[in-house]
Each structure stands twice: as structure tokens, then as C-alpha cells.
Chains A and B, each alone.
Chain A
Amino acid sequence: MDFYNRLMNLDRRWVYLVVGIAVIIPVLNPFRVPVFVTQEVRSIYDFVESLEPGDIMFLAIDYDPQAMAEVHPMARAIMRQCFAKDVKLIISALSQNGPGMAEQLISEVAREFGKKSGIDYCYLGYKPYFGLVILAMGQNFRIPFPEDYYGVPLDSLPMMRDVRNYDDVKGVVDISSGNITDAWIIYGNGRYDVKLAIGVTGVMTANYYPYLASGQIFGLMGGLKGASEYEALSKQGDRAIKMMSIQTTAHIVIVLFIVAGNIGYFMSRKKNKK
């Protein structure tokens, strides 16, 4: 097998090895990559910035641990930004494996800002059948969640006394790694006209641009890049910004592999024609 044929048919183990090295190098030698902020991310930041102390925002943490690397920094940055501005949060976790992560994030950020459950935030937790839960919350948060995550009745929480449904919150930001986002768009925005923004994984991003253009969502954060943009804007943490170096080197390696594969393909085809 000549050089170009080898270039075209590299053993996959070489690919794995090089990708592995490309991921490890930035971990051992961290460096920062410039962040280019897009309008769809800036819209979410501007919305949160426009909220006044005492306003209530709904933060939906709808992802599983597998998507943590990409979307957890988004949720953390938004939560920190809200708490720094004394904006109150109602938080739900409608993904089956999400409640644990949401609980960890809330306790970490709430402790940092000295926020108290029931006064500064209300963590509703998980209930099955997210579409129905989103619909029911549009009527009254108490239908699917008579009690919060910690078993305290919603009516006894000072923050929730005058809060009934989406009409009492300024907007919803849904951070998701699955089709719960669709339910928020269809039921939350479509049925109850909720002002909605979303943060999704990189692979999901392209699917939600139609909703951005139609105005059904007012902002969109896509993958780790979206998270890094939000962190750069809000200056609330830099985990995603740091991780962008890892993603960047991995992407460069993949692009180089694709280029090498095509060089091998064209050169071997040229040789065969001769």
C-alpha cells in the first residue's frame, strides 16, 4: 500500500490515539481561545440583565450528566448572574437524571451568594411526563408540584405565596440536552406565550434556529461555545471558556484528519488514472 492509500485508510486506532493526545494536551497545558459573542447568546444576557431585583425568572435544568460538560456551565452562569442581581429563581429539573445535578448546582451557587430556599429561590424538582408538567405549570405550579424538592408545601414558601403560574415570572430559560426543549416551545411558548430562551448541546443547535427566526424563542445558546460566550458576557465563571481550548484542539485534529483523508483520496485517484 503506497503513502496516499495509507493516508486514506488509516487504522482507526491511530485516529483515537491522536484525538486522545489532542484532548489531553490542553488539559495539561491550559490556554485560552478568543470568544466571539453571537447575537442569539447576547439576547439572553441582555434579558437577564434587564431584570430588576425581586423579579422572578424560571430556570429549567433539563439535562442528564452526559451533557454536563456542555450545558452545566450555562446553567451555572445564568444562576450566578440572577443571584448576583437579586433576581429570584424558580427551578425545575424535568429530565430523569437531572434533579441531582440541579440540586448540586443550586446548593453550590446559593451557598456562594447566601441565598435561601423558599425566599430567594424555589427548587421544584422532577415530575414525570415533562409535556404535561409544562402544561400544568401554565395553570398553576401547585398542580404538578404541591411541594418543592425538599418536601415543603409551595404555599408555605414566602417567595411562592403570590406566584401562581408563568404569568408571574418574567421569562423561562431552558437548559436542555433532549426533546424537553420542544415541549417548552410547543406548550410553554405556544400554549401560554411564555417568553422563552434555550441553551442546548452543540449537536442540537441547528435544529432550533427556525424557532429563533420565528420569534418563538428570543435567545439560543449552542453547546460549549454558547456557554463560553455567556460566561464571557456575564463574567460569571470561566469553566466553559477554559474547556473551549480542549474542544478547539479536538476540532483542529478532526479537520486535519478530514483534509488528510481527502488528499489521500485525490492523489491515489490521480495515480490510478495514470
Chain B
Amino acid sequence: MRGQLPILIVFVSGVFMAIQYFIPHDAGVFFYEYGGVFFYEYGLDCIIVIGVFAMLLGIWSLFRVQLDKVAKRSPGWGYSVVALGGLFFMMIGGPLWGIEEGTPFMQVFWYIYTPIQATMFSLLAFYIASAAYRAFRARTVLATILLLTAMVIMLRLIPLGAISGPNQKLATWILMVPSMAANRAILIGIGLGIVATCLKIILGIERAYMGHD
């Protein structure tokens, strides 16, 4: 029973979602309209609520790991103190002062968290510049094609006078034709893979989500 019940729930839920989403036939609409709407809306609500509990689990896990580091004075335990301080400040600060513009919660978000994230992302520019300088070498025919394509795409952002128009058109063509064809191939491949995996889960062939094969 412990093994079969989850498989049954997954099967029923999977088939239900597939019918309401994928079957554009009157039978699907009929099934959906008469009774299906209630279960669909209730199901969506339930999953979001379950998701919130998963978030609590995440917070608990973060707390335990960081507290453990502090208790054992592991290398870098000071950072754990900061992490715990931040966790509690934001958890208590939100309900206490509110989350509107101008509250301490939002000031911490704007003046500490946002600059940290922006700084981390900005550093990428330097790494990308260095990586592009080293990687884009016309060593082979394929590498030359890659190099030229990258140059055209990058140069479309730069005003080059008379060359800008034709370069923009060429860049748009690259994005709309060869790049899109490759992207479509990848997307279709991923889509087929997702369908196959979902079918295996719905039909009970793939059971790793239960913690064992």
C-alpha cells in the first residue's frame, strides 16, 4: 500500500492534468467543465500550499547547517553568524515593520542585498572579456565561424555609422534563421525528453521520486 498509493496519486493527477491541458477535444472540455474545474483549482491551491511547507524545510535546513558551523567553530564560521543574523532580521523585520517602501526591511534589501547581487553579476563582465579574448581564436573553420558570428552579434550593439544598418540586418538574420533552427532542434529534443520522463513517472515506471527504484 505504501508503494502503490503514491503511484496511484501520481497517475490520477498526471492523467487529469494531461486531459485538461493537452486534449483540445470536446471530450476534454466536457471532462474539465463538469467537476474538473473544482479539482483543478483546488489542486493548484494545494500544491502551492505544499510548496510553502517545502520552503520552511529549506529555512530549517539553512538554520541547522549554519548553526552547526558556528557551534563547531568551523573555518569561516563568522560568515555563518552573518547568514543567521540576516535570516532572522529579515524574518522578524518583515512582519514587524512591514514590507513597504521605506521600512527597515526594504532598506536592508536595497542598501545591502541589491548592491551585493549587482556586484556579483557585474564581475561577470570582466571574466567574459578575459574568456572571450582567450577563447575566440580562428584556429579551425568552425572556430572561425563562431568567432565571426560572435563579432557580428556583438557589433550590432555598437554604432558603426554606415555599417550599422547592414550589420543589424545580418545579426537579425543570424538570430532568426540559423540560431533559431538550432534552438528549435534543442527545444524539441528537450520537449520530447520531458514527455518521455513524464510518461514514465505517470505510468509508475520511474519511481526515483519515492526515494528508491
Q: Taking beta carbons and an 8 Å cutoff, which residues of A are in contact with B?
A: 10, 12, 15-16, 19-20, 23, 33-34, 36, 38, 64-69, 97, 99-101, 103-104, 107, 127-129, 132-133, 135-136, 139-140, 143-144, 149-150, 191, 205-207, 209-210, 213, 225, 244, 247-248, 250-255, 257-258, 260-262, 265-266
Contacts and interface: CB of A to CB of B under 8 A. Distances in A.
Interface in B161-193: 164-165, 168, 172, 175-176, 179-180, 183-184, 187
A100 B209 CA distance: 34
A254 B154 CA distance: 9
Contact of A150 (B52, B100, B117): B100
Contacts of A64: 117
A136 B45 contact: yes
13 contacts: A16-B130, A19-B129, A64-B117, A65-B113, A66-B121, A68-B114, A104-B101, A128-B51, A129-B48, A132-B47, A191-B21, A251-B158, A261-B137
In the A-B complex, list the 10 residue pairs whose CB atoms are closest, starting with the nearest: A66-B121, A65-B114, A257-B133, A136-B44, A100-B109, A65-B117, A107-B101, A66-B117, A129-B51, A12-B130
A258 B147 contact: yes
Nearest to A16: B126
A201 to B, nearest CB: 10
Given A15-B130, A132-B44, A255 B99 contact: no
B157 interface: yes
B191 to A, nearest CB: 10
A144 B176 CA distance: 37
Interface of B: 21, 37, 40-41, 44-45, 47-48, 51-52, 55, 99-101, 106, 109-110, 113-114, 117-118, 120-122, 125-126, 128-130, 132-134, 136-139, 147, 150-151, 154-159, 164-165, 168, 172, 175-176, 179-180, 183-184, 187
A139 B100 contact: no
Contacts of A261: 133-134, 136-137
Contacts of B55: 128
B136 A262 contact: yes
Contact of B44 (A139, A247, A255): A139
A261 to B, nearest CB: 5
Contacts of B136: 258, 261-262
Contacts, number: 150
A135 B133 contact: no
Contacts of A107: 100-101
B172 A38 contact: yes
A57 to B, nearest CB: 22
B138 A265 contact: yes
A256 to B, nearest CB: 9
A10 B130 CA distance: 9
Given A64-B117, A66-B117, A262 B147 contact: yes
A225 B183 contact: no
A191 B120 CA distance: 36
Given A68-B118, A104-B106, A210 B133 contact: no
Contact of A248 (B40, B147, B159, B165): B159
Contact of B40 (A68, A139, A144, A266): A139
Given A191-B21, A254-B129, A66 B51 contact: no
Given A128-B52, A139-B44, A144-B45, 11 more contacts: A33-B159, A36-B165, A67-B121, A107-B101, A132-B44, A132-B51, A210-B183, A210-B184, A254-B154, A257-B129, A265-B139
Given A65-B118, A136-B44, A19 B158 contact: no
